[in-house]
């Protein structure tokens, strides 16, 4: 067993890289939830706004990894699917003062939409990692500052099958046309394609021997959020995130694979 969950992985990745992280989530009143809280505390993450659900269990997942280090994941959402806008009342002030907000799709879409609206209202950058993949409304996409799909997710969002850099550029442009300021399509070992300000940029990934790609995207997003919060350019932030993700694939597990700042440097 390994600690995981997309939001949790991203929170741990950001904390290990030096960020001041507040994690808003919902867990079950069970052994998995209790273990999660202990691990977050060890990582220095603020858990004040993690809600314990008296009805639903903590989310769990079964992950298989093939001999090419690629993974396949089946998720039982549990309490994650019960994190609703009303649960965020206590965190309202934090949502107004955050340097930025990072979200993914293992929580209800209505909650993602609610928080995106808060980001726009309070002029806070919102990063959305659109995973697990699903269709998203143009209204929601127009409120996202930075979106970070992988190739499969980008195809689901745009209908454009990504077979190389040229098709990735087309998909990135299609997403940007929906009102998103910056589109970053992660390309695995090839790095990440960035489209912002009508310009493309390819951030190369360091060449590493992959053991397990689980949580590589989460580590990328956590590192990206840290770099942007520090005021780095989007190009430098992507290079930093690619380095973090590349290190993570050399290790087994999800949260356990997230690197520390000193390792990237």
- Residue 80's H or E segment, with its range, is none
The whole-chain average pLDDT of the chain stands at 95
Asked whether residue 41 is domain-assigned, the answer is yes
Judge whether residue 71 has pLDDT over 90: no
Q: What is the predicted pLDDT for the residue at 86? A: 97
Q: What is the predicted pLDDT for the residue at 202? A: 96
* Least confident segment among 21-25, 163-167, 208-212: 208-212
Q: How many domains does the chain have?
A: 1
Q: What is the predicted pLDDT for the residue at 65? A: 86
Instruction: Give the residue ranges of DSSP H helices in 20-91.
Output: 31-42
Which residues, 6+ apart, have CB-to-CB distance to 59 below 8 Å? 5, 27, 28, 75, 76, 77, 78, 79, 80, 81, 106
Per-residue tokens: 130:
């659109």
Give the dihedral of Cα atoms 191, 169, 236, 207; nearest 10 deg: 10
- Band the pLDDT of 253: cuts 50, 70, 90: confident
Judge whether residue 214 has pLDDT over 90: no
Read off the pLDDT of residues 39-55 as tens digits, 9 standing for 90 and up.
Answer: 999 999 999 999 999 99
**Quick one: average pLDDT of 77-94?**
97
3 state SS of 140: helix
- Band the pLDDT of 107: cuts 50, 70, 90: very high
Q: In the 8-state DSSP scheme, what is residue 27?
A: E
Judge whether residue 68 has pLDDT over 90: no
The Cα–Cα gap between 244 and 240 comes to 6
Judge whether residue 112 has pLDDT over 90: yes
Asked whether residue 1 is domain-assigned, the answer is no
Per-residue tokens: 182:
């910056």
Q: Which residues of 66-76 are buried (b: 16+ CB within 10 A; e: fewer)?
A: eeebeeeeebe
Q: What domain range includes position 39? A: 6-264
User: Is-catalytic flag, 218?
Assistant: yes
The Cα–Cα gap between 108 and 104 comes to 10
Q: What is the predicted pLDDT for the residue at 1? A: 86
Residue for token pair 């499969």: 152
Judge whether residue 2 has pLDDT over 90: no
- Band the pLDDT of 73: cuts 50, 70, 90: confident
Instruction: Give the residue ranges of DSSP H helices in the chain.
Output: 6-16, 31-42, 92-97, 109-121, 138-141, 151-158, 165-176, 216-229, 234-248, 261-264
- Which of 103, 145, 98, 99 is closest to 120 using CA atoms? 145
The residue from 67, 87, 218, 236 that is catalytic is: 218
Asked whether residue 34 is domain-assigned, the answer is yes
Asked whether residue 258 is domain-assigned, the answer is yes
The Cα–Cα gap between 25 and 227 comes to 23
Read off the pLDDT of residues 129-184 as tens digits, 9 standing for 90 and up.
Answer: 999 999 999 999 999 999 999 999 999 999 999 999 999 999 999 999 999 999 99
- Band the pLDDT of 63: cuts 50, 70, 90: confident
Tallying the residues shown for the chain, one arrives at 265
What CATH number is associated with residue 88? 3.40.1190.20
Asked whether residue 150 is domain-assigned, the answer is yes
The Cα–Cα gap between 263 and 241 comes to 13
């Amino acid at each position: 067993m390994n600690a995981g969950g997309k939001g949790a992985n991203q929170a741990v990745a950001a904390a290990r890289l030096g960020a001041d992280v507040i994690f808003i989530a919902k867990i079950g009143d069970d052994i998995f939830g209790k273990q999660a809280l202990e691990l977050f505390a060890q990582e220095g993450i603020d858990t004040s706004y993690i809600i314990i659900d008296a009805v639903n269990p903590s989310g769990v997942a079964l992950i298989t990894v093939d001999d090419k280090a690629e993974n396949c994941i089946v998720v039982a959402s549990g309490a994650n699917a019960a994190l609703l806008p009303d649960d965020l009342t206590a965190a309202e002030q934090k949502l107004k003062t955050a340097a930025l907000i990072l979200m993914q799709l293992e929580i209800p879409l209505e909650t993602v939409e609610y928080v995106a609206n808060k980001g726009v209202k309070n002029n806070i950058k919102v990063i959305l990692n659109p995973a697990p993949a699903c269709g998203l409304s143009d209204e929601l996409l127009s409120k996202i500052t930075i979106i970070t799909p992988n190739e499969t997710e980008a195809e689901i969002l745009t209908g454009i099958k990504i077979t190389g850099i040229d098709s990735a550029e087309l998909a990135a442009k299609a997403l940007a046309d929906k009102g998103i300021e910056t589109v970053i399509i992660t390309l695995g070992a090839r790095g990440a394609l960035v489209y912002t300000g009508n310009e493309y940029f390819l951030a190369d990934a360091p060449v590493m021997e992959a053991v397990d790609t689980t949580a590589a995207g989460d580590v990328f997003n956590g590192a990206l959020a840290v770099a942007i919060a520090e005021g780095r350019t989007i190009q430098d932030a992507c290079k930093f995130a690619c380095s973090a993700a590349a290190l993570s694939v050399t290790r087994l597990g999800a949260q356990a694979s997230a690197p520390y700042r000193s390792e990237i440097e």
